[in-house]
Homo-oligomer: A and B are copies of this chain.
Amino acid sequence: MNIGQAAKASGVSAKMIRYYEQTGLIPAAARKDSGYRDYSDSDVHMLRFIRRARDLGFAVAEINELLSLWRDRSRQSADVKRIAAAHIDELREKIARLNQMADTLQTLIDCCAGDHRPDCPILADLEKIGDDRQQTKAALSAFGD
């Protein structure tokens, strides 16, 4: 099957399929006489695997390891679990960082009148001299509208 069909069937764009091939994540596809890439059902199966792993946020390098284990019939599930656990740690760190940002920002937003006047605790916070931003709330009492 052509790359377009493989893309549709796997959910991976043709662009990305070529990219994965180029970077060595997947082996070079077979070619027809025309030069067109030719994909089998098992190629599509692999692409779908990649797609689902990307959906879980795995980086391509991690997917590389997962693919190796997938193909290795004598793998140990502990190895898979280790990769997944490392990845979920990254996810939780990212989430924590974003939550921290969102909390701070929400506090500032809550304190901003959002009207025609120029006074704004959001800008006031960004402008602040100190480089520690943990006691934002205390400093914001001045803006209690």
Contact = CB atoms under 8 A, between A and B. Distances in A.
Interface string A120-135: 1011011111010100
A128 B52 contact: yes
Interface stretch (A21-29, A30-38, A83-91): A83-91
Interface in A66-114: 66, 69-70, 72-78, 80-82, 84-85, 87-88, 91-92, 94-95, 98-99, 101-102, 104-106, 108-109, 112-114
Chain A at the B interface: SS class: helix
A116 B76 contact: yes
In the complex this chain forms, how many copies of it are found? 2
Contacts of A116: 76-78
B77 A127 contact: no
B91 A109 contact: no
A133 B52 contact: yes
Interface string A27-63: 0000000000000000001001100110111000000
A70 B108 contact: no
Nearest to A78: B114
A45 B53 CA distance: 44
B77 A112 contact: yes
A118 interface: yes
Contact of A126 (B52, B99, B119): B52
A145 B120 CA distance: 56
A76 B122 CA distance: 12
